[in-house]
Amino acid sequence: MPDGFGKITVVVPTYNERDNLPKLVDQLAALPVRLHVLVVDDNSPDGTGEVADKLALESPQTLGVLHRTAKDGLGRAYIAGMLRALDEGADVVIQMDADLSHPSSAIPAMVDALAADDVSVVLGSRYVPGGSVAGDWAWHRKALSTWANFYVDAILRMGVKDATAGFKAWRAEALRRIDIASIQSNGYSFQVEMNYRTVRRGMRIVEVPICFADRTRGESKMSLRVQLESALMPWKLRLARDAASARRSSRP
C-alpha cells in the first residue's frame, strides 16, 4: 500500500447483481491492496441485498452493506455510499460497478497513481493509450461512447479523455472539496458533474488505461431517461458557469 494512505474503501452500488457480486468481492479480496468494500444496494428484488449481508457476515472487517429503500439512480447510490465511506474514515474512496465491467486488477495501479502529491482523482480510462473497450461491443455502441466523450469535452473543455467513465479512485479530501452531498445529477451525467467540479476547483485528474469489459450477467441500467439527462447535463454546467462569470464581470 502506498505511504500516506490508510483506509481504502471501494463503493459498489448494486441493483439485481446477485450473481456478479460474490465474484467481484473475491476479485477484490485477491488484490495486493488492503481494501474495505461497501455495497450500496437499492432494494434489489433479486436478493442482492441478502447476498451482500451474507458476504458481510463472512468478512465483517472488510465488507459492509448500506441498504437503501428505493431505486432512485446510480448517482444517488454513489453519493450515499461515498458519504458513508467518508464518515467511516476512508482516506481513499474507489467507485466501481458491480457488473464486472471494471477490471479489479487495475486498482493497484490506480492507487499508486493517486499517491502523487498533485493528484486528486485517478480515472480508469478506456480512451488513453493502452485502454480499450470490449471486443464484442457493437460498432454503434463504440461510436456512441466515443461521441459522448467528444461531446462533453467540446462543451466543458475539461481535458479528460473518458469523462463518462465510472471507475475512479478519489482522495477523501477531493470528495469533500467538490461537496458531493450537493450534487443533483444522476445516472451517468453524475460522473461528468463530479469531474467538472474537480477541474473547476483546480484539482488534477489523472487517467490510467483499463480494458473495459461488457457485463457478464444481468441487464444494462442505461435507460432513455438516463441518456437524455446525460446529454443535457454538460449544457446545464456550461450555462451555470457562464452565468457566474457574467455576474462577476458586472460587479464594480
Task: Return d(Cα 221, Cα 71) in angstroms, integer.
Answer: 11
User: Pick the residue with more confidence: 70 or 196?
Assistant: 196
Q: Which residues contact 109 (CB under 8 A, 6 or more apart)?
A: 208
Q: What's the CATH fold of domain 8-250? A: Spore Coat Polysaccharide Biosynthesis Protein SpsA; Chain A (3.90.550)
Q: What is the pTM of this model?
A: 0.85
pLDDT band (50, 70, 90) for residue 163: confident
DSSP string covering 50-114 = HHHHHHHHH-TTTEEEEE-SS---HHHHHHHHHHHHHHTT-SEEEE--SSS-S-GGGHHHHHHHH
Confidence of residue 246 (pLDDT cuts 50, 70, 90): very low
CA torsion, ordered 223, 225, 226, 230, to nearest 10 deg: 140
User: Which set of grid coordinates corresponds to residue 135?
Assistant: 471486443
Q: What is the mean pLDDT of residues 87-97?
A: 97
**Average pLDDT, stretch 133-162?**
73
Report d(CA 50, CA 109) in Å as an integer: 32
82 pLDDT more than 80? yes
Residue 245 three-state SS: helix
Ramachandran angles phi, psi of 170, nearest 5°? -115, 140
pLDDT in tens, 189-236: 888 899 999 999 999 999 999 998 865 554 555 544 555 555 566 656
Strongest mean pLDDT among 108-117, 214-223, 233-242: 108-117
Q: Is the pLDDT of residue 91 over 50?
A: yes
Q: Left if phi > 0, otherwise alpha if psi is -120 to 50, otherwise beta: which for 125?
A: beta
Selected residue with higher pLDDT from 164 and 49 = 49
| pLDDT attached to residue 236 | 65
Burial of 172 (0-12, 13-18, 19+ CB in 10 A): buried
Average pLDDT over residues 80-90: 97
Q: Region 107-124: what's the mean pLDDT?
A: 96
Q: How far apart are CA 232 and CA 240, in angstroms?
A: 13
Higher pLDDT: 235 or 118? It is: 118
Domain boundaries, the chain: 8-250
Coil, strand or helix at 27:
helix
